[in-house]
Amino acid sequence: MNAHRTLALSHLKVDSTLSEARTRLVDDVSLTLYRSEVVALVGASGSGKSMTCAAALDTLPPGVQKVGGDVRLDDTLATPAKLRGHAVASIMQNPRSAFNPVRSLNDHASESFRALGVPKRLWRERILEAMTSAGLEQPQTLLKRYPFELSGGMLQRMMIALALASGAPFLFADEPTTDLDVIVQRDILDLLERLKTSHGLGILLVTHDMGVVARLADRVLVMAQGRVIEEGEVETIFHRPQQAITRDLVAAHLSLYAHKEAL
């Protein structure tokens, strides 16, 4: 297991270069992620949440460019190639489209290990252990299966297992439960919380659902128009939001629970 303690994104700037007039999508975003904590990045669609993660790992889509900022691991400058998979693992929103349909789960695991340069003799033990930690039963049998044979919830667990197997101390989770039903969502959030403690994972959680934030986050960063407009402990964000946008976000969220006891 990697011994890094902090991951710091500083002054990230991202521009869209598609139209002649450059538009800034991420404007001077800095954040520090510690081990064993969950930082939630929230905001409306298009506020730059996912772009911030993509900029840190240099996985920006075509037509979008990082124009400033850097990423540090424990105060040492880190290149995106050194981060991806080694220090930061990622899980995506739609597990169905994140897997190659013609490859078995075992192939997916081998591919990751090969990319990370893990000695082959360690592969089997590491993936089986990771799958057990991710709550997948009978991992030996499951490894032979193909993505279409598994439910969305199981695939999301497999994606988490692959992230764990990489041994990366940090995890970027972009809308990890948005496409799952509420019961599977609860189980996956429970799992992420357990892993935060057991594996000391530092999780950067991108979501638009303040319910997920309330359930899992320790700290919250609110983004709007590419900037971080408010940052605080989760209780502060919910109970004493400072900015109008944050107040709207929390109010809109609480209105979903309006029928429940007075909050």
Partner 1 sequence: MSLLSAHAVCRAYRRFSLVGAGKSTPVLHEVSFAIEAGETVALLGRSGCGKSTLARLLTGLEAPNAGEIRFKDRSLQGFDTDTWHDFRRTVQMVFQDPQSAVNPRLTIGEIIQEPLRHLTTLTPTERDAEVARLLSSVGLVASDAHKYPHQVSGGQLQRVCIARALAPRPALIVLDEAVSNLDLHLQRQTLALFKTLKREFGVAFLFITHDLRLVSQFCTRVLVMDAGRLVEDRAVTQPLTLHSAAGKALTQAVLPALPSRPKRPSERFSTEGVFE
| Cα-trace Rg, the chain | 19
With residue 204 as reference, give the H or E element that holds it.
strand 202-206
214 binds partner 1 (CB under 8 A): yes
44 binds partner 1 (CB under 8 A): yes
Are the beta carbons of 184 and 156 closer than 8 angstroms?
yes
Distance in Å, CB of 6 to partner 1, minimum: 5
Q: Indicate which single residue of 218, 229, 231, 232 sits in contact with partner 1 (rule: CB under 8 A).
A: 218
- Between CA 173 and CA 90 the distance in angstroms is 6
- Between CA 219 and CA 223 the distance in angstroms is 13
- Between CA 24 and CA 101 the distance in angstroms is 36
Q: Indicate which single residue of 215, 226, 230, 241 sits in contact with partner 1 (rule: CB under 8 A).
A: 215
Distance in Å, CB of 257 to partner 1, minimum: 4
- Between CA 178 and CA 14 the distance in angstroms is 25
Distance in Å, CB of 81 to partner 1, minimum: 25
- Between CA 223 and CA 38 the distance in angstroms is 16
Q: Which stretch binds partner 1 (CB under 8 A): 23-31, 108-116, 135-143, 230-238?
A: 230-238
Q: Which stretch binds partner 1 (CB under 8 A): 9-17, 52-60, 113-121, 148-156?
A: 148-156
152 binds partner 1 (CB under 8 A): yes
63 binds partner 1 (CB under 8 A): no
Distance in Å, CB of 120 to partner 1, minimum: 31
Instruction: Characterize the bridge pairing of strands 64-73 and 76-77.
Output: antiparallel
- Between CA 34 and CA 133 the distance in angstroms is 21
Identify the bridge partners of residue 23 per DSSP, sorted by sequence position: 16
Q: Which stretch binds partner 1 (CB under 8 A): 9-17, 103-111, 135-143, 214-222?
A: 214-222
125 binds partner 1 (CB under 8 A): no
Q: Indicate which single residue of 12, 136, 160, 234 sits in contact with partner 1 (rule: CB under 8 A).
A: 234
Closer by beta carbon to partner 1, 81 or else 256: 256
**Kindly report the CA angle at 149 between 146 and 154, in degrees rounded to 5?**
95
Other beta carbons less than 10 A from residue 259's beta carbon = 6
Q: Which stretch binds partner 1 (CB under 8 A): 43-51, 57-65, 130-138, 166-174?
A: 43-51
148 binds partner 1 (CB under 8 A): no
Measure Cα distances from 221 to 31, 157, 245 in Å: 8, 26, 12
- Using CB under 8 A, list all residues that contact partner 1: 5-6, 32, 34-36, 44-46, 151-153, 178-186, 189, 200, 208-215, 217-218, 234-235, 238-239, 248-249, 252-260, 263
